[in-house]
């Protein structure tokens, strides 16, 4: 992702940590996957809201590198949910000309989920009206580590001098160098941490935290976050 950022009232790129599915399910005496399923509905609603409000890029933290330690049935359930989402919602991506992309260690995903993901990414790769980016088996430190390794190999091969390494070069080695950095990061459920999400890319993002649990998060909550963002004064280090 690149460092240029939107200066208008509407963020060009919104990133979301979709948190609180487990607590939402527990409140209802249901298994955690029940909350994740409801969370998929929120994702659908927010994707439509992005279209309606003119937000071009949406990146969502769907599965972190740390999430693999969750109980096997929850991990399996999440992978099934991903496949279902891709199958059920592909037509909407086409209708709205939304390109699907993924960031993370995609090779770690089970073959069936990976195949469906690759298929839909390929089928939507020519669209440019909107971009949905799924962070899957994603970790911010892993992303930076992978970039550093690739750069070190270039230095070792004699193709690059250490002094040529600057921020722009590092950014070019991250997962999606052509995507602008997020302008706004939303985290639901009252937690106020980054949890290894887009560590490099969120450097200048506005952060918005809400107590709403992700499965309850709908268009109106998203609109509230946008209104809050429009009141922020983004200085990028410049004096006020």
Structure tokens of 6?
Answer: 């939107």
Question: 21 with 32: CB under 8 angstroms?
Answer: yes
Nearest to ligand FPP of 67, 142 (CB atom): 67
Report d(CA 68, CA 64) in Å as an integer: 8
SS3 for 36-76, per residue? HHHHHHHHHHHHHHHHHHCCCEEEEEEEEHHHHHCCHHHHH
Q: Tell me, yes or no, if 67 is annotated catalytic.
A: yes
Asked if residue 82 binds ligand FPP (CB under 6 A), the reply is yes
Nearest to ligand FPP of 84, 230 (CB atom): 84
> Which one of 1, 6, 15, 40 is in contact with ligand FPP (CB under 6 A)?
40
Q: Tell me, yes or no, if 19 is annotated catalytic.
A: yes
Number of residues that bind ligand FPP (CB under 6 A): 19
Sketch the per residue contact string, 209 through 228, with ligand FPP: x for CB under 6 A, - otherwise: -----x--------------
Q: Which stretch binds ligand FPP (CB under 6 A): 2-10, 14-22, 95-103, 124-132?
A: 14-22
Site for ligand FPP in 47-66 (CB under 6 A): 62
Nearest to ligand FPP of 134, 205 (CB atom): 134
The vertex-79 CA angle with 77 and 80, nearest 5°, equals 65
DSSP category for residue 198: S
Nearest to ligand FPP of 18, 225 (CB atom): 18
Phi-psi region of 198 (alpha: psi -120 to 50; beta: other; left: phi over 0): left
- The active-site residue, picked from 21, 67, 154, 216, is 67
> Which one of 6, 13, 16, 22 is in contact with ligand FPP (CB under 6 A)?
22
Asked if residue 20 binds ligand FPP (CB under 6 A), the reply is yes
Helix H segments across the chain?
21-27, 32-53, 72-95, 111-123, 140-156, 167-172, 219-230
Q: Which stretch binds ligand FPP (CB under 6 A): 7-15, 37-45, 46-54, 176-184?
A: 37-45
Q: Which residue matches tokens 């998929």?
A: 40
Phi-psi region of 164 (alpha: psi -120 to 50; beta: other; left: phi over 0): alpha
Q: Please give the distance of CA 131 from its chain centroid, rounded to a whole number.
A: 10
Q: Which stretch binds ligand FPP (CB under 6 A): 17-25, 96-104, 143-151, 170-178?
A: 17-25
Q: Which stretch binds ligand FPP (CB under 6 A): 33-41, 45-53, 142-150, 219-227?
A: 33-41
Chain residues that interact with ligand FPP, rule: CB under 6 A? 18-23, 32, 36, 39-40, 43, 62, 67, 81-82, 85, 134, 189, 214
> Which residues carry out catalysis?
19, 67
């Amino acid at each position: 992702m690149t460092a240029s950022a939107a200066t208008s009232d509407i963020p060009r790129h919104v990133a979301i940590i979709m948190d609180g599915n487990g607590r939402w399910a527990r409140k209802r005496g249901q298994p955690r996957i029940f909350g994740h399923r409801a969370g998929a509905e929120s994702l659908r609603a927010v994707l439509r809201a992005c279209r309606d409000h003119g937000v071009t890029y949406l990146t969502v933290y769907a599965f972190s590198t740390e999430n693999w330690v969750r109980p096997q049935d929850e991990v399996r359930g999440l992978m099934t949910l991903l496949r279902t989402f891709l199958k059920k919602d592909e037509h909407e991506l086409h209708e709205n000309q939304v390109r699907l992309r993924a960031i993370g260690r995609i090779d770690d995903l089970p073959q069936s989920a990976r195949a469906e993901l690759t298929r839909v990414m390929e089928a939507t790769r020519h669209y440019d009206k909107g971009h949905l980016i799924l962070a899957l088996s994603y970790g911010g430190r892993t992303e930076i580590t992978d970039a550093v390794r690739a750069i070190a190999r270039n230095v070792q091969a004699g193709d690059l001098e250490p002094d040529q390494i600057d921020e722009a070069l590092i950014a070019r080695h991250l997962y999606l160098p052509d995507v602008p950095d997020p302008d706004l990061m939303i985290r639901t459920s009252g937690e106020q941490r980054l949890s290894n999400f887009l560590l490099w890319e969120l450097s200048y993002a506005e952060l918005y935290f809400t107590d709403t649990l992700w499965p309850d998060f709908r268009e109106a909550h998203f609109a509230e976050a946008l209104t809050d963002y429009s009141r922020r004064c983004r200085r990028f280090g410049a004096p006020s």
